[in-house]
Structure 1
Amino acid sequence: MLIPPSVWFTGFIPDLPTPFDAADAIDLKAFAALCERQVAAGVPALVVCGTAGEAPTLSPAEQELVIRTAVDVVRGRVRIIAGAMSNSTSRAIELARRAEAAGADAIMLVVPAYNKPMQEGMLAHFRAVAGSIGLPVILHDVPSRTLRPLADETLLRLVESRQFAGLRDGSGDITRPMRLNRLLPTGFRLLSGDDTTAFGFIASGGDGAISEVANVAPDLCRTISLQVRQGRLQSARYLHKRLIPLIACLSRESPAALKSALSTLGLMSPATRLPIVPLDAAMQAEVARAFAAIADEELIDSVRA
C-alpha cells in the first residue's frame, strides 16, 4: 500500500553522501552501511542522489544503481526520496523515470540552476517532470545554488496538484512556515534544507529538516525534533547549539566536510569527485575539532557508528 508523504515526510531526514572508492567507483558496501545506520536510528526517510550525494557528477546509470541499492537495503522500513536534479527538463524526466523504475517512493526536483528560469519556466519544468511519473514530488528551493528562488506564488500554483507533496526550503527564511502554512493544502509538508536555521524553521511551524548533519548525529537530530514537537524548546535549542560548529563546517564545504566527518567515524572514505576535492589539512582539523566537541559529550552514538 502506498503511504503518502504526509505520514512520513517529517522530522530530520538525512541527505546521504555517495561514497567512492580508490578507483572513483561508487562504494556500495559503504553506502549500504550508511543506509542501515540511519534505519537503525529511526529516520522516516532517506534522500539519495541529492546535494550531499554529488548528484551532478553521477551518470544516470550510477544514480539508478544508488537508488536501487538504497531500496534493496531498507526493504520498505523507511522511504526513499530520489533526486532528479538537472537544469534540463528532458534529463530531469529521464532521471525521474529511472528513479521510479528503481523503486523510489518519491522524487525530489530542484529549481534549475544556471539557466535562471523565470517563475513560469519553473512552473512548466516541475509540471512536466511530475507529469512523466506517478510518484509524489518534493520540491527543493535553494537560492544560494540556483540564484532564482521558487516564489511563494509559484509554489501555491504547483500545490493545486496533490502530486506536489512537500518543499525542502534551503532559503534560510525561517518565517516561511508561518507565512505559508495556512495557505497550503492539508498534508503538504515544509522541511528546512538549511541546517544552520533548521531549529528556527521547525520552531516556526516547519515539519522537519532534510539535513547533512543528521548523517553524523542521527540520534541527536531525532531527539531535537521530538523535543520541539513536545514543546521543550529550551532543551532542543541547547542541543542544536552544540551542533552549530559542526554545521558551520559542513555548510561551508559541502559535501567534502561531511565525508571527512563520516570518515572520522570509520563509515566511509573521504574521497570526492571533481570538481569537489577532499578537504585540506587545516579544514580537516577544524572538522575534527567540531566533531570531537560533540563526541566528547556523548552526543553521537559512537557504539552504533
Structure 2
Amino acid sequence: MANLIGINLAMQTTFNESGEVDYNAYEKLIEQYIEAGVHGLVLGAGSGQHPYLTEAECNKLYEIGIKRINGRVNVICQTSALNVDEVIRRSRHAEKAGADALMILPPYFEGPTDDDGLFEFYREIDAAVSIDIVGYNIPQSTQISVSPELLSRLQGLKNFNYIKDSGGDFTIHQQYIQSGGGVLNGCDTIALYAFLAGTKGAIWGAANYMPRETVQLFNFVQEKQYEEALALWNKMLPSLLLIQTTNYIPSVLYAAHLRGFGTGILRKPQRAITEQEATVLKAALQPLLNG
C-alpha cells in the first residue's frame, strides 16, 4: 500500500499559446512543486483539465512526469474514463510507467449509480491492476455519491485503499474516516478541519498556487501547532472561498501563474476569468501575498 499521507498536489497541465501541452514547462513546474515540499503529485488531475486531454497526451504526461519525479515524491495518475476497458488500459499504462497509485472517478455520465453497479465497476478495475486505487467522490460533478456503506465494501478489494472526497459534506467525510480506510480530502474549504479530524492528507487543487502554504498547514496540524495552523488558514481562506464558489480551474490557474507557477493557459472549452474576476481574485490573494 502506497503511503499517500500529506499534500498530494492536483497538478495543472501546462499549455502553450497554441493550446498544445508544453512538456518543458511541465517538467520545470514539477521541480518547483517538489522544491516547495509537497508529498505527492497527481498527474492528469481535474485541475490538470483531464477531460480535455487525449489518452495519448495523458500517457505522455505520466511517462515524462514519473521519470522527472524519479521517486522523490508519490505519483498518483488519474486514469478515469467512461469505458471500463479504457480505464483498465490507461491504468495499466500508468502502472507500467511507475505510478504509485491511480485516481479513478466512478462512471460519471449515465452509468450505474447504485452501490452494486459502482462496486462492480471498481471490482473489475481492481482485478486488472496491482497498485493502489484512489476512488473519487465528487457528487457535484458526477451526480454520484459514494456512500459510507459502499466505501466499506470497496475497502475489501485488494487495491482500493483510498478515497478522495471532494463532496464537502463534513459529516460524510468523518464517516469515511471512521471506516478506517485511507481518506484524502479534496474539498479546499474544509481542509484544516479534515486534517484535525484525522484524514490522511489531501489531493488539493489550490495547492497549485500555494504549495508551500498547504504543506505548512498540514505540518502545523501534525505538530499540534493549532494556533499557527489557524492563523495560516485565515490567510488562505479568502481565496479558497472565492475559487470554490466561482470558476474553479480558471481561477486556480490564474492565481498559480500570478505566483510564478505554470503558464496560466487554459485548453478550450475552458475560458479565462474576466478582468473584473481577476481583480476580485487578486484582492482575495492579498493576505497570502502580504505574508
TM-score bracket for the superposition, by shorter chain length = over 0.9
CA distance in 2, matches of 1:29, 1:290: 31
Match of 1:282 in 2: 276
Unaligned runs of 5+ in 2: none
Secondary structure at the counterpart of residue 47 of structure 2: coil
Match of 2:58 in 1: 63
Residue 190 in structure 1 maps to residue 183 in structure 2: yes
Match of 2:286 in 1: 292
Deviation, structure 1 residue 108? 0.5
8 Å Cα contact 1:174-1:204 kept in structure 2: no
User: CA 1:177–1:265 in structure 2 vs 1: closer, same or farther (change >3 Å)?
Assistant: closer
CA distance in 2, matches of 1:260, 1:204: 31
Match of 2:119 in 1: 123
Amino acid at match of 2:256: L
8 Å Cα contact 1:116-1:147 kept in structure 2: no
Secondary structure at the counterpart of residue 244 of structure 1: helix
Residue 211 in structure 1 maps to residue 211 in structure 2: no
Deviation, structure 1 residue 112? 2.1
User: CA 1:199–1:116 in structure 2 vs 1: closer, same or farther (change >3 Å)?
Assistant: farther
Match of 1:272 in 2: 266
8 Å Cα contact 1:87-1:115 kept in structure 2: no
Deviation, structure 1 residue 180? 3.9
Deviation, structure 1 residue 293? 2.8
8 Å Cα contact 2:77-2:94 kept in structure 1: yes
Amino acid at match of 1:46: L
Deviation, structure 1 residue 126? 1.0
Amino acid at match of 1:102: A
CA distance in 2, matches of 1:182, 1:24: 44
Deviation, structure 1 residue 182? 4.3
Amino acid at match of 2:285: F
Match of 1:148 in 2: 144
Residue 75 in structure 1 maps to residue 70 in structure 2: yes
Deviation, structure 1 residue 60? 0.6
Deviation, structure 1 residue 64? 0.5
Determine which of 227, 233, 240 is the counterpart of 2:233: 240
Deviation, structure 1 residue 150? 0.6
8 Å Cα contact 1:242-1:294 kept in structure 2: yes
Residue 135 in structure 1 maps to residue 131 in structure 2: yes
Match of 1:29 in 2: 24
Matched residues, number? 289
User: CA 1:270–1:176 in structure 2 vs 1: closer, same or farther (change >3 Å)?
Assistant: same
Deviation, structure 1 residue 267? 2.9
CA distance in 2, matches of 1:241, 1:174: 19
Match of 1:301 in 2: none
Residue 107 in structure 1 maps to residue 102 in structure 2: yes
8 Å Cα contact 2:250-2:266 kept in structure 1: yes
CA distance in 2, matches of 1:60, 1:103: 17
Match of 2:160 in 1: 164
Deviation, structure 1 residue 101? 2.5
8 Å Cα contact 1:50-1:85 kept in structure 2: no
CA distance in 2, matches of 1:69, 1:286: 36
Deviation, structure 1 residue 238? 2.1
8 Å Cα contact 2:100-2:132 kept in structure 1: yes
Determine which of 245, 248, 260 is the counterpart of 1:254: 248
Determine which of 18, 27, 36 is the counterpart of 2:13: 18
Deviation, structure 1 residue 210? 1.0
8 Å Cα contact 2:210-2:256 kept in structure 1: no
Residue 201 in structure 1 maps to residue 194 in structure 2: yes
Deviation, structure 1 residue 45? 1.0
Match of 1:84 in 2: 79
Secondary structure at the counterpart of residue 122 of structure 1: helix
Amino acid at match of 1:258: V
CA distance in 2, matches of 1:114, 1:253: 21
CA distance in 2, matches of 1:47, 1:31: 13
Bigger shift: 81-90 or 174-183?
174-183
8 Å Cα contact 2:165-2:173 kept in structure 1: no
CA distance in 1, matches of 2:44, 2:174: 30
Secondary structure at the counterpart of residue 21 of structure 1: coil
User: If the length of structure 1 is used for normalisation, what is the TM-score?
Assistant: 0.90
